[in-house]
Amino acid sequence: MNIEIIDQVISGLREQYQLRVFENRDPYRVLIRTILSQRTRDENTDRATAQLFAEYPTLEDVASATPEELEPLIRPAGFYRVKARRIIEVSQMLLDEFGGVVPEKMKELLLLPGVGRKTANCVLVYAFEKPAIPVDVHVHRISNRLGLVSTKNPEQTELELEKIVPRKYWIELNDLMVQFGQTICRPVNPLHEVCPLADICLYYQELLQEPDQE
């Protein structure tokens, strides 16, 4: 992979989007918000997170709650019964095993119930501002469409991106690609006509070569 292509991708996305400013980088809140965000939209995640911490503002509060108490608060995030149990389990383990402190290392984050590499990487980037590449459905889809990688799942995409993307871009990559995936490089009906990366997109170039269907 030519490093100039990576530079073009980052430059094109920077021109289109600004990195979002997250008001609260508290590691615990970032962790819980990321768990709540699984398989739901940002606006629903924001609502559920706000309602949860309005009633249970600390790790200790959440750890001592029951699933039945949390479920109505996080209902907007979907799968609320599973997520309620999960965030209580995570909170209790943080208290019991980590002294109430969210760890800053991938290996330790992965010990938490239900925390996979994407969630752990989000905590590293958005809470601790450590170089990592969180790969969600947007990053996986866009990386393959552009031709940066040819992978079958987000875990493979993360490993391949770590090999080809300069470390200086890691912290911003997820945020830029998520915004891009939500607005232009959508799962269905991507907006090729306004895409800042159309000229270097393998997916788009292949579409141009297909015969017209009449």
Contact assessment for residue 54 and residue 29, using Cβ atoms and an 8 Å cutoff: no
What is the tens place of the pLDDT at every residue in 46-90? 999 999 999 999 999 999 999 999 999 999 999 999 999 999 999
Residues of the chain with pLDDT under 70: 1, 23, 212-214
Q: Which residues contact 196 (CB under 8 A, 6 or more apart)?
A: 12, 13, 15, 16, 184
Total domains in the fold of the chain? 2
Task: Note the helical H segments in 128-185.
Answer: 137-146, 154-164, 170-183
* Whether residues 88 and 141 fall in one domain: no
Tokens of 80: 């609320």
Q: What is the pLDDT of residue 214?
A: 44
Q: What is the pLDDT of residue 171?
A: 96
* Whether residues 173 and 111 fall in one domain: no
Q: How far apart are CA 23 and CA 58, in angstroms?
A: 17
Q: How far apart are CA 139 and CA 145, in angstroms?
A: 10
Spatial CA neighbour of 158 closest among 143, 180, 176: 143
Tokens of 18: 């600004």
Q: What's the distance, Cα to Cα, between the start and end of the chain in Å?
A: 36
Output the domain CATH number for residue 82.
1.10.340.30
- 70 is a domain residue: yes
Contact assessment for residue 112 and residue 123, using Cβ atoms and an 8 Å cutoff: no
Contact assessment for residue 39 and residue 76, using Cβ atoms and an 8 Å cutoff: no
- 214 is a domain residue: no
Output the domain CATH number for residue 205.
1.10.1670.10
* Whether residues 53 and 143 fall in one domain: no
* Whether residues 142 and 119 fall in one domain: no
Q: How far apart are CA 84 and CA 53, in angstroms?
A: 13
**Listed residues 126, 153, 182: the one ending a domain:** 126
Q: How far apart are CA 66 and CA 85, in angstroms?
A: 8
* Whether residues 122 and 142 fall in one domain: no
The pTM score is 0.92
Which sign, positive or negative, has the C-alpha torsion 57, 63, 65, 71? positive
DSSP structural state of residue 194: G
User: Containing domain of residue 80, as a range?
Assistant: 27-126
Q: At what angle do helices 67-74 and 80-98 cross, to 10 degrees?
A: 120
* Whether residues 34 and 64 fall in one domain: yes
Q: What is the pLDDT of residue 1?
A: 59
Angle subtended at Cα 131 by Cα 125 and Cα 136, rounded to the nearest 5 degrees = 55
